[in-house]
Structure 1
Amino acid sequence: MGLATSFLMGNGSPTTQMLNLITGSLYSSFVEKETDTFPQFHQAFLDIFNTFNSALPGKHYDVPARPEVKECFDKWKESTDEAKRKKIFVDFIKEKVKLNEPHKSTLITGIVTPPAAMVAKKAGERVPALKLIKVVPDVLFVPSATFLALISVKVSRKVFHNRMLKKDQEREQQTNI
C-alpha cells in the first residue's frame, strides 16, 4: 500500500515533471466544474481531493483550511486570464497541500493495542464473571479492541485540543481587557 504515491513522491519531494502532470490534470478536472461562487469553487476543490485520495492507496493529502481556499478563490475571481488562473491554482496546490501524517499517539496505540488485547483476553478468560469472553474469537476481539482504542485516542486528543484552544482564547480575552 502506498507504492504508487511513494513512486510519485520519490524521497519525499515530487519531481517537477510529475508535479506538473498531477497539478495539470487536477486543474483540467477542476475547470470542467462550475466555479462561479465560493460554495461551488469549494465543492469542486473538495471533489478533487476526494477523487485523488480515494484513487491512490496509502498516503492521503489534507485539504487546506476553508479561509485559505477562500483566499485562493478571491485571487481566482480577480484574474480573468486563464493562464493566470491556472498559475494561481497550481501555486496554491504546491504551497498548501500537505501529506496527512498520523499523530504519534495514534501510531503507538495501533502498535501496542493488539498484544495488550490478547493479554487482556487471556486474563479475562480466567475470571469467572467474564466467562462470555471465551466465546468471542480472537479474530474478532483483537481488531475490535484496536479499533475502539484508536477511536478513543482520536476523541480524547480532539477533546484535549479543543480545551487547550478554549483556554488560549480565554487568556487572550483576559489580556485584551
Structure 2
Amino acid sequence: MGQVLDRLQDKKWRQGKIRKITDKAFESLKNEEEKAQLTFEDLYIAVLLVYNDLNKHLPGPHFDPPSKDRVKQVMKECDVNPDGKIDRDEFYEFIKRMTGDTFTIISQGMIVTLVVAPMLAFAAMRAIEGVPGVVGKVARKLPKSVYVSLITIALVALCNWMQRISYHS
C-alpha cells in the first residue's frame, strides 16, 4: 500500500504518464496540413475522448466533460503564441488544466479507499471483538486481514452504490 501512495504523490512519475498520454492523443488528432497544431474542434474532440476514458477506466463518479465555452477559455490561456491553434507543448498544459480537478477528486477517492476504509474496518473489528457471545467469538477467530478486506470491500461497494443513486436522481 505504501508503494501505491508513493506513486500517487510522485509528481515526476505523474507528469511523465500525463505527457505520454497527451503525446499519444496529440499524434492521433493532429492534422498533417496544419503543421502539428490542433484547432478548437480537434481540442474539443480530445477533451471528449479523455473524459470518456476517465469515466471508463478510473474509479469514482461519472465526470461530465467541460462545456465548449470552457474549452475555448482554456485554449486561449494555453495558446502561448496566440495563433488560435495548439501545439504539442501547449496541448500538454491544456489537458492538465482541463483534467486537474478531475484527478484531484479521483486521488481523494483512492486515498479514502486505500487508507480510511481499512482504518474504519479495523476499528469496527476491535469493537465487534468485545461483543459477548457468538459474534465476538467469530470476530476474534477471523484473521484480521480477511476481516479488514471484507469490510473495506463492503464500504467501497456502499460508496459506489450511493454515488450511483445520487448520480441518477
TM-score range, shorter chain: 0.3 to 0.5
Q: Which has the higher contact order (CA 8 A, sep 6+)?
A: 2
- Per the normalisation by structure 1, the TM-score is 0.46
- Per the normalisation by structure 2, the TM-score is 0.47
The structure having more radius of gyration, on CA atoms, is: 1
